[in-house]
Structure 1
């Protein structure tokens, strides 16, 4: 029995390592490029983002290589978000502030705000970013140029994740681990099937015509994972989408502690792994490849599986430019990820709603 478990653990540890190696080898790294005749609309939905919005806006306005406008929509903030944007807009005419109307039935908050931003944008390309994202100067131009040169409707990437606490280290790195180690093709454009699409809602550039053709955010109004839903929608409509190296384009500090991270990932889990049919499979894949080897020590085969597991984690961490001190926490991060997913599934079965910034969302994703 132990021999069988060691074989299973070794296979489950090697598979993501091999897939990540292939995915990362082929993942595009975008360079600084000038793009004439285009306007990138940097679109920022903001709700209670007084701590983030100024740095986010200033970074977007510092874009080079392409003309930009920056549009922020204040989505019912209860802090000083709007006042900060108004002050910055007085300094730079490229910046506009919108006020979100009341949230209609059937919409989630961020998706509704993004839909209004899309309507107000004037650009040839729409770059949706979260308020905690900091664009590097070349990002907007490089993403638009890549889209134009390769005929890609949606270009996205996971920004370099800034991690400062133990709670973040136990949660945030799983984003890249799942994308690179468990999605064939890693979201590249050649994987044309909608089921193989991927996107990070923190950083998404969409060609204006493709966005309109696919129905924009109105076509995915009830979801929480708007990036993934848009990517799948675009592929269904015959458009190409691609995940590129986002760590060279932007940075992001998603959460500040374990409580924030737990609530944030719990909110989105029902549109990810936390389904009755999918989560048992994910549990076998993740637990078997990254936790089981520890339980099988000191068997020699278990040690090999453990090396493969940590090699996978190290590779993804290095390419994502995440802190190396998070690597030893790898098995604990896997256990926390599974705990979040199982909690979400159980809460959904009980009809519990997940709250975020004063709004509650049910398992059916209706606001």
Structure 2
């Protein structure tokens, strides 16, 4: 019995290993070969972001290789966000402060702010970034160059994730691990199937004409997970979307504690993995491939499993950790998170199952002081 379980663990560990090999070859950091023509509108929705907004704007203004404008949408902040943006706008005419209108019924906050910013933008390409994302100088030009050479109407990337607390290191690395280990990037590029579309909402470049023609954020107004649904809307309309390596394009510190991480990943869970159909499949894939090997190795060490089962389980564990190590080192995430991988997988699944089975608080998700009804709640 334990040998059978070990063989299952090895098979499920090999799947993401094979996909990660193909994806890490396919995912490259785009670089502009020449100065790019046109204007990029860098659009930053901001709600109570006084701690990070100045650095985010200054990094965006330092963009090279293409002309940029920087629009910041003040989404009814109660801190000094708007004042900081106004001061920067007085010093550089490329910066504009946009006061986001009152949240309309049926909209989620970020989508509403992004739509308001897009209406005021002048660029041929819209680069949506979160208020805690710091762009590298060549990021905007590189993304535009890749969009033009690949024919993709949307290009997204996961910025290099800054993680300092244990809680962050247990949770945040799953973003890259799930994308690189389980999304078949070459197949995604060869197909327009909406289900294969994926993006990271922290960093998304979109062709403005396509954005307007497909409805942009207005077409997903009631959604919380723009990284899932914006590329699907474009693919439904027949447009290509793509992912590139983002660790050289930008940095981001999403959360600063385990509590923040738990709340943040819970917010989008019901639109991603935490559905009655998807979560059992994800649980099998992740538990069997990344948690079961460790449990079987421990069982063998305690004499609760055969030595053969222990060796097979050890092989599965090595494959699992090697896959995680390759993704971690290439995306420039903290190396210590490699050893935390089995626990990180367990925590990720705990978040998803808590969202699926836990009380839905009157069927609402709460974020940034706002409460949104859950789809299907």
> Structures share a fold, TM > 0.5?
yes
Q: Separation in 1 of the partners of 2:20 and 2:202?
A: 21
Say whether residues 1:280 and 2:291 are aligned partners: no
Give the SS at the match of 2:270: helix
Q: Is the 8 A contact 2:32 2:145 kept in 1?
A: no
Q: For residues 6-38 of structure 1, what are the alpha-carbon distances to aligned partners after superposition, in whole Å with 9 as ceiling and x for unaligned?
A: 111000111101111111111132124434431
Residue in structure 1 matched with residue 368 of structure 2 by the alignment: 357
Distance change in 2, residues 1:99/1:179 (3 Å): same
Q: Separation in 1 of the partners of 2:365 and 2:357?
A: 12
Residue in structure 2 matched with residue 67 of structure 1 by the alignment: 67
Q: How many residues align?
A: 366
1:1-367 matches, within 5 Å, as 1-185=1-185, 188-297=188-297, 298=300, 299-347=310-358, 351-364=362-375
Q: Separation in 2 of the partners of 1:95 and 1:333?
A: 40
Distance change in 2, residues 1:25/1:337 (3 Å): same
Shift of 1:347: 3.2
Residue in structure 1 matched with residue 307 of structure 2 by the alignment: none
Q: Is the 8 A contact 1:34 1:141 kept in 2?
A: no
Residue in structure 1 matched with residue 306 of structure 2 by the alignment: none
Q: Is the 8 A contact 1:187 1:198 kept in 2?
A: no
Shift of 1:215: 1.0
Q: Separation in 2 of the partners of 1:325 and 1:2?
A: 30
Distance change in 2, residues 1:350/1:72 (3 Å): closer
Distance change in 2, residues 1:162/1:127 (3 Å): same
Shift of 1:325: 1.2
Q: Separation in 2 of the partners of 1:36 and 1:185?
A: 26
Shift of 1:354: 2.3
Give the SS at the match of 1:131: coil
Residue in structure 1 matched with residue 304 of structure 2 by the alignment: none
Q: Separation in 2 of the partners of 1:365 and 1:69?
A: 39
Q: For residues 204-249 of structure 1, what are the alpha-carbon distances to aligned partners after superposition, in whole Å with 9 as ceiling and x for unaligned?
A: 0001111111111111101111122110111110101000001111
Shift of 1:348: 6.1
Give the SS at the match of 1:289: helix
Shift of 1:144: 0.7
Shift of 1:188: 4.6
Shift of 1:332: 0.7
Instruction: Provide the TM-score with structure 2 as the length reference.
Output: 0.94
Give the SS at the match of 1:239: coil
Shift of 1:187: 7.7
Give the SS at the match of 2:40: strand
Q: Separation in 2 of the partners of 1:106 and 1:187?
A: 34
Gaps of 5+ in 2: 301-309
Distance change in 2, residues 1:365/1:137 (3 Å): farther
Instruction: Provide the TM-score with structure 1 as the length reference.
Output: 0.97
Give the SS at the match of 1:323: coil
Q: Separation in 2 of the partners of 1:321 and 1:359?
A: 34
Give the SS at the match of 1:65: coil
Q: Separation in 2 of the partners of 1:35 and 1:227?
A: 29
